[in-house]
Structure 1
Amino acid sequence: MRPNFLIFITDQHRADHLGCYGNPIVRTPNIDALARGGVCFDRAYVATPVCMPNRGSIMTSRMPSIHGARSNGVPLPLEAVTFADLLGEFGYRTALVGKSHLQNMEDAPPLLKTPESRAGTQRSGTFPEARRSTIDDPAYCQELKASWADPAHRLTLPYYGFQEVVLCNSHADECFGDWLRWLQREHPELAQRLGREHGVRDPDFVSPQAWRTHLDEFQYPTHFIADQSQKWIRDHVANHPDQPFALMCSFPDPHHPWTPPGRYWDMYRPEDMPLSPSLLPAEEHPPHVRWLMDERNRGAAKVDGQRLFMATPREIQEMSALTYGMITNIDDRIGMVMETLRECGADRNTVVIFTSDHGDLLGDHGIVLKGPLHYQGLVRVPFIWREPDGDGADAQVRRDDLVSSLDLPASILTRAGIASPNGSQGKPLFDPVGAPLGSGRDAVLIEENQQRAYLGFETPVKVRTLITERHRLSVFGDAQWGELYDLQQDPHELDNLWDAPAAIGIKAELLQRLVCALMEHADSSPSPTRIA
């Protein structure tokens, strides 16, 4: 019998912000129960630590530079083949409840400008890009907040392979989509009191982007997503009992802004939050960290936006406490969904997966949020896989083989007995009957292409990172320096060995391995149609 798939995804969630990954403070009993009954991957890494491109990789099993959504602001091409497409072809009923972010959500213009034409040349009005593209068509405006202002707007289904979608995009109590329409219908007075302009500042908190929402926990997006997932499961079991399903339950939290509702706001005390050991003085910070320090010291840091910034120890503790509140809220809702799965009897044939699109620096080296600094807190994510028979309290398995976000869709397809399409770059971690398969990876490739030119770089930042069993190497496109850390001897990545004489040999070896990894991840789709 083909298994069902229930896939929980959180947003901007570090691996070590779960009890099952060793965190002694945050309370996540329901996620921990999934880990106890399943497989917990200790070395799961993103293909890129950015929302849209890594969500594209989770859907397609391809690197961002290959699937087309190379950075935030570039939607996943609609012609991309997703694991949901393939499941649907083989008879699965597929649905997404919650955050999608495979297309742009915000209406602001891009930061990255079109390169200026060379003097004496004219730019084409018909062919401004190197390939014909339709990304300005309405089909690529389906997730825009402005599109959802029209009450008649709906997603065109299937949407990237999902036959049904209940959308809840953006973050905190500033979400929109089907959730906001529900709130406007059921609680119109609250729908007028959302967001930072209406939020209540807590006098005990100094952190930017932190406010008390007027929503209670049952009106907040996290509960709506869980409730809609429960309803979908009940409907499926009642009306499609003989059809396998794949449901992605996608939470926008624990992403900033920090607005955990009700009791989750002060569930954790900032003073109880330990600061990262990476805050200890290092002999010499890399240039990009020094740039952030200087930016904050001169009062120029952009603390109310989306990009990373240097934070004070008190801010880090407050953000951590509020993040933990958001995580426990998610955990409680996952418990609701899992209880519904059990009540319906669907748990007996459902593979349950938990992961995140990327992490958050959240205090590593004094920095918060995300950006092209590939420290472990940002690029390492939780990844839990529980087979249908995984209810035994002592059944937990921990795996330390290197795995990538690319491997999630490849594993789902293989477990469903479906071959991955040509061009898939993921490694299946389980066979069609659920037996474990080693990833076979001796390294993980991470790439990032930013729209911003910052951190001391003159051009938009580009990074390529290689993580091996022992080391992390990062190469920047506009720098004469790089990063090299021995993760066994220096787990907090304080001692950059890039220029260390004793590391010349390993640096040369890793640079060669990085080049080989880039070649390995070159596109192989489409297949040749003739010999020549």
Structure 2
Amino acid sequence: MPKNILFIMSDQLRFDYLGCTGHPHIRTPHIDALAARGIRFDRAYVQSPICGPSRMSTYTGRYPRSHGSTWNGVPLRVGEWTMGDHLDELGMRTVLCGKTHMRADLEGMRRLGLDPASGIGARVAECGFEIWDRLDGLHPDPVPEPAPYADYLRGLGYGGPNPWEQWANSAEGDEGEILSGWLMEHADKPARIRNEDSETPYTTTRAMEFIAGAGDDPWCLHLSYIKPHWPYIVPAPYHDMYGPEHVLPAVRSQAELSDAHPVLAAYHQHRFSKVFAREEVRQRVIPAYMGLITQLDDQIGRLMDWLEETGRSDETLIVFTSDHGDYLGDHWLGEKEMFHDPSVRVPLIVVDPSPEADVTRGTVSEALVEAIDLLPTFVEVAGGAPKPHVLEGASLLPLVRRQDVPWRGHVISEYDYSSRRAQAILDQSPQDCRLIMVHDGRWKYVHAEGFRPMLYDLKSDPDELHDLGADPTHESECARLGEVLNRWARHPHSRITAPYDAQTGSGAEELELGILIGFWDSHDVDEATRNGESGN
């Protein structure tokens, strides 16, 4: 069994923007090499197609419905089991280098008398991670403290009140003026910062520093990159590595505009969708997005070479994935948040150095897997048994080692759009802004509270261009998947304080305590005692 876990997550990386997943132009040889060393799961889905809820599901092994953090900035309630809780009790350090998007439940902590500055308080406030270097990106003005990356840039002479924005995420004009990387017209220009000082190389260096000083105790390092998430700007030499000739045509049809589901029609009105509907924007932005990915790939190569040189590769389980995708204009949408594959489907590669995994090296699995499967996998690697009353995913190790185990027939993802303009456009009450996807590998069904469902047949329509949810000939398919959703919703998501088998219904413990419920006389009590039963 591997001793350590290197859990790599990139932010907003589409499943199909890697060489190993079929992109015809992008250069990702080092991530492709990981796929050749391990197993690539081709049908991996996140439990919510937006940063915060997706990550909270990955870090808790639970669906958003269960952990309650349903949108960015919604705190993960105090008391939720996290990756750190599960692994720490197995003797494994759980450390963060990079992004979590965690928002602490400060109100809950105050109610329970937990000081966020205390040892336990700090762990609760940081999603159970021991913080090595937190870099969530998107530093507003003023830069929040502590800000190790901003301090690092200042120490290198990058001046200004916000070096993250003014250097790492801005370009420079012909007259020396600062051109904001937030504005997509500047995506073809190099960021002002030197490549080696930008976010992705910095985070890689910090991760290597942790590993080098970690000692002999087992660790799980969450190396969480903030790119290729916007702003879409990248330093030289990556800024012009790709051009308009490398931009694939948008996957969209006029019918998606003229006959859109009400929720999708509302999303088409969002600013980020309107801008990506313009082809000149896609031609300018997507090459920068691809450059950010290749920069990430080069840093993965740097890290993998170092692990090999220092003898750590053979003792480390490596996982590479993303928290969600990016529409980039597909389906007339920008950002993420809906349930087409470019948004909700992610790359997932697992490299298990164990000899038992040799049988799957370089293979591709078609199993339907969920991001919540990662934490049960890590628990098993750490030598524990996943708690089924807490963890809602399943360990991937049997698939990695090609063991014959039953596997799920569908995946679930959820989204709450109450914080988006779509809520006002549709005049929906915030509590009704709920979308839930059920995908069984062929059919993708989306429940939309207050509206008809969406339905796609990925066998005949792999690009998801034709919504069949209003077609009467597909009512039976909608009903079938609707019942799958209902069964999932009826599952006891909230019972996490006692295992399901803690009470089996025999009632024998009641007799031992002298609690005599349902007995007529002492003969009934004697018989129940002999049979190990109770009368309840």
TM-score range, shorter chain: 0.7 to 0.9
CA distance in 2, matches of 1:100, 1:336: 23
CA distance in 2, matches of 1:136, 1:370: 35
Indicate if the aligned counterparts of 2:57 and 2:64 stay in contact, CA closer than 8 A. yes
Pair 18,280 (structure 1): closer, same or farther in 2 beyond 3 Å: farther
The answer on 1:5 being equivalent to 2:5 is yes
Pair 93,292 (structure 1): closer, same or farther in 2 beyond 3 Å: closer
CA RMSD of the aligned region, Å?
Answer: 3.4
- Give the corresponding residue for 1:113: none
Counterpart residue identity of residue 390, structure 2: G
Pair 262,343 (structure 1): closer, same or farther in 2 beyond 3 Å: same
CA distance in 2, matches of 1:5, 1:435: 20
The answer on 1:231 being equivalent to 2:182 is no
Pair 356,458 (structure 1): closer, same or farther in 2 beyond 3 Å: same
- Give the corresponding residue for 2:330: 364
- Give the corresponding residue for 1:222: 200
Counterpart residue identity of residue 3, structure 1: K
Deviations 1:396-421 (A, max 9, x none): 11111111111011111122221223
Q: Equivalent residue of 1:419, what SS?
A: coil
The answer on 1:525 being equivalent to 2:502 is no
Q: Equivalent residue of 2:222, what SS?
A: strand
CA distance in 2, matches of 1:499, 1:387: 45
Aligned-residue offset at 1:290: 3.4
The structure with more helix, counted as a fraction of residues:
2
- Give the corresponding residue for 2:347: 382
Pair 258,208 (structure 1): closer, same or farther in 2 beyond 3 Å: same
Aligned-residue offset at 1:380: 0.3
Find the partner of 1:342 among 298, 308, 312: 308
Find the partner of 1:486 among 457, 464, 477: 457
Q: Equivalent residue of 1:252, what SS?
A: strand
The answer on 1:498 being equivalent to 2:469 is yes
Aligned-residue offset at 1:526: 2.2
Deviations 1:327-359 (A, max 9, x none): 111111111111121111111111110011111
Pair 469,431 (structure 1): closer, same or farther in 2 beyond 3 Å: closer
- Give the corresponding residue for 1:302: 271
- Give the corresponding residue for 1:468: 440
CA distance in 2, matches of 1:444, 1:521: 17
- Give the corresponding residue for 1:109: none
Higher relative contact order (CA 8 A, sep 6+): 1
Pair 416,436 (structure 1): closer, same or farther in 2 beyond 3 Å: farther
* TM alignment of 1:308-327, pairs within 5 A: 310-327=276-293
The answer on 1:185 being equivalent to 2:155 is yes
CA distance in 1, matches of 2:110, 2:325: 28
CA distance in 2, matches of 1:225, 1:405: 23
Question: What TM-score comes out, normalization by structure 1 length?
Answer: 0.81
- Give the corresponding residue for 2:184: 207
Unaligned runs of 5+ residues in structure 2 are 508-536
Aligned-residue offset at 1:69: 1.3
* TM alignment of 1:327-476, pairs within 5 A: 327-371=293-337, 373-388=338-353, 395-421=361-387, 422-431=389-398, 434=401, 436=403, 440-452=407-419, 454-455=421-422, 456-459=425-428, 460=430, 461-476=433-448
* TM alignment of 1:40-59, pairs within 5 A: 40-59=40-59
- Give the corresponding residue for 2:224: 250
Counterpart residue identity of residue 331, structure 1: D
CA distance in 2, matches of 1:457, 1:178: 42
CA distance in 2, matches of 1:209, 1:79: 44
CA distance in 1, matches of 2:112, 2:330: 40
Question: What TM-score comes out, normalization by structure 2 length?
Answer: 0.81
Counterpart residue identity of residue 375, structure 1: H
Unaligned runs of 5+ residues in structure 1 are 106-131, 143-154, 296-300
Q: Percent identity?
A: 28
Aligned-residue offset at 1:500: 1.1
Counterpart residue identity of residue 248, structure 1: H
Counterpart residue identity of residue 213, structure 1: A
The answer on 1:290 being equivalent to 2:281 is no
Larger Rg belongs to: 2
Counterpart residue identity of residue 36, structure 1: A
Farther-moved stretch of structure 1 (327-336 vs 171-180): 171-180
Q: Equivalent residue of 1:400, what SS?
A: strand
Pair 136,179 (structure 1): closer, same or farther in 2 beyond 3 Å: farther
- Give the corresponding residue for 2:485: 514
Aligned-residue offset at 1:495: 1.1
Indicate if the aligned counterparts of 2:442 and 2:458 stay in contact, CA closer than 8 A. yes
Indicate if the aligned counterparts of 1:172 and 1:257 stay in contact, CA closer than 8 A. no
